[in-house]
């Protein structure tokens, strides 16, 4: 990969239910997986697998913004909606990942006595991701 094609995370765009939820983010992670289904028979000398169902989860870590509760109110456990992620921002031609239905599975706030207050949010995809461009 050419160095000119590398991107910086600070340009990421993340919206949930139409609201920008990334202003104070520090990390946004998308984790995809697929089930490996064992189809090994008694006479096989090695294990054999076929691909099963795919899955995806997302997580976001951010500093908690005490001046507004916009993000806090949107990411309530059990909330469902569309999640759109633009890893390189929203400029024309940049990658756009859209999950039409994700569920907020967790929302944690960490309040250390000697550090910044942080918010951690977990999402579970319900359906496939659509990859397109802005």
DSSP state letters, 5-70: G---GGG-EEEETTEE--TTEEEEEEEEEEEEEE---TT-SS--EEEEEEEEEEEEEEE--TT--H
pLDDT digits (tens, 9 = 90+) for 84-134: 999 999 999 999 999 999 999 999 999 999 999 999 999 999 999 999 999
pLDDT digits (tens, 9 = 90+) for 11-46: 899 999 999 998 888 999 999 999 999 999 999 999
> For position 1, what pLDDT does the model report?
59
> For position 102, what pLDDT does the model report?
97
> For position 10, what pLDDT does the model report?
87
> For position 4, what pLDDT does the model report?
81
**55: CATH:** 2.30.110.20
pLDDT digits (tens, 9 = 90+) for 40-77: 999 999 999 999 999 999 999 999 987 777 888 889 99
Pairing of strands 19-20, 80-86: unpaired
Structural domain including 97 reads 3-38+46-133
Helix (H, G, I), strand (E, B) or coil at 95: strand
Closest by CA to 29, choosing from 52, 61, 1, 59, is: 59
Number of domains forming the structure of the chain: 1
What is the C-alpha separation between 57 and 131, in angstroms, rounded? 16
pTM over 0.85: yes
């Amino acid at each position: 990969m050419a160095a000119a094609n590398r991107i910086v995370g600070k340009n990421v765009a993340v919206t949930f239910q139409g609201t920008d939820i990334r202003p104070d983010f520090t990390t946004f992670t998308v984790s995809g997986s697929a089930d490996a289904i064992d189809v090994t028979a008694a006479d096989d000398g090695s294990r054999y697998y076929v691909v099963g169902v795919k899955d995806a989860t997302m997580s976001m870590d951010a500093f908690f913004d005490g001046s507004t509760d916009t993000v806090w109110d949107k990411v309530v456990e059990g909330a469902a909606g569309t999640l759109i992620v633009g890893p390189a921002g929203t400029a024309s031609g940049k990658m756009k990942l859209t999950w039409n239905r994700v569920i907020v599975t967790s929302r944690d706030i960490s309040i250390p006595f000697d550090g910044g207050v942080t918010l951690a949010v977990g999402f579970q995809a319900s359906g496939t991701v659509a990859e397109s461009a802005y």
